[in-house]
Structure 1
Amino acid sequence: MVLTTAVIVLAVLVLLDLLLSVAIVRRLRDHEAQLADVLPATEPGLRTGTPMPDFTSADGSFTRAGVLGTPVLLGFFSTGCRFCPAQAEQLAHRATGIAARSIRVVSVLTVTDEAVPDDLTPVLEKSGTVVTEHGPGGLMATFSISGTPSFLLFDGEGTLIGKGHTVDEPLERWIP
């Protein structure tokens, strides 16, 4: 009799705990939805619609003034990146279609370790200009790039109109 009563009491407590847990989860989801309505969505890097920051590459060959007036696709790569070779090949493959739309391609290659061979430059040169930087920082910091590969598409006035981690993402609306 005592054991049966203990099992029934325990079962009731477990059911109450389950109901309370469901109520708390539901309340947290409601609260999260309310926060999403109030707070702006955060996305890393530059937001679409923002102007191109003012910049000059370390060697002075690549500047904001030098790319304004024509749409430009900036590709950010690094020698230690395992996904960069595939995206560099994709960029080289799409270079003709990109050029047909009068979009200039500039690849920024960050050499993070001199011991790592640079297999990317010959591939990236097939699609346009290559700007090489040594060590992290520089243009990646200026454009708020947190990882490679990354692509930014700016219109002729210097407004960001597309971005992504594959070459197809920023171009999907502009080049079918």
Structure 2
Amino acid sequence: MPYLAAAVVLLGALTVLNLLLTVTIIRRLRDQPQHDHDRDEAAALPFSLLETGTPVPAVQAADLAGRPVDFTGGTTVVGFFSGSCQSCRAHVEPFLAYVRGRAVTDAVAVVSGDAAEGADLVAALREHVRVVAEPADGRLAAAFKVGVFPTFYLVGPDATVAAGHTSIRALPAPVAA
């Protein structure tokens, strides 16, 4: 019986110690300065985006309605999504919110990959923006040097890249033409 009592006391002491350590760690984490993860992420990207000021590559593409995609004459936001990318689904609503809340002339969502895998993305996007569906090695994604999904670009009225990033929240507000 004395062994059982000693084991209970020992386990109780370990539990209290664990609780104190956990509270200490949580307090220290709260005291850490907050980081802008979008900026940190951009500095550590293992691939290159088209640089600001780069002319948009000339590529012929059409949206699902058959209208040609043209990047001249206005401010365009372009989002690249992949049907096989699970995190892309979490970026659909922020992308649509960016489009709704900014002075953009046109918004294009490019859904790359297998049509069946990307059907939910196409359905979520096509009511709000122009959608281009293309294979995994599609022309638009290759022209914009998309190395990871999702990727977003803001194209200025002069058909040059105004900004590009893997987070829509990191794109600046477009300047009215």
Instruction: Please tell me the TM-score bracket, short chain as reference.
Output: 0.5 to 0.7
Aligned to 2:153: 152
Check the 8 A contact 2:81/2:110 in 1, yes or no: yes
What is the match of residue 50 of structure 2? 46
- Residue of structure 2 in register with 1:80 after alignment: 84
| Contiguous gaps of at least 5 residues in structure 2 | 1-45
Structure 1: how far apart are the matches of 2:76 and 2:133? 17
% same residue: 29
Which residue identity is paired with 1:128? V
The correspondence of residues 105-120 of structure 1 with structure 2, limited to 5 A, is 105-110=107-112, 112-116=113-117, 118-120=119-121
Shift of 1:160: 0.8
Distance 1:55 1:115, change over 3 A: closer
Q: State the TM-score, normalized to the length of structure 1.
A: 0.64
- For 2:68, which of 52, 62, 66 is the aligned residue? 62
- CA radius of gyration, larger in: 1
Q: How far does residue 126 in structure 1 lie from its aligned partner after superposition?
A: 3.9
Which one of 92, 97, 100 corresponds to residue 101 of structure 2? 97
After alignment, is 151-160 or 42-51 more displaced? 42-51
Distance 1:57 1:147 in 2: 20
Aligned length: 129
Q: CA deviation at 1:43?
A: 6.0
Gaps of 5+ in 1: 1-41
**Could you tell me how far apart the structure 1 residues matched to 2:67 and 2:47 are?**
30
Distance 1:117 1:49, change over 3 A: closer
Could you give the per-residue CA deviations for residues 133-159 of structure 1, whole angstroms, max 9, x where no partner exists?
A: 123231111111111100011110111
| Contact 1:58–1:133 (Cα < 8 Å) also in 2 | no
Rate the CA distance shift 1:130–1:115 in 2: closer, same or farther, 3 A: closer
* Displacement over 4 Å in runs of 4+: 172-175
Question: Which amino acid is the alignment partner of residue 146 of structure 2?
Answer: I
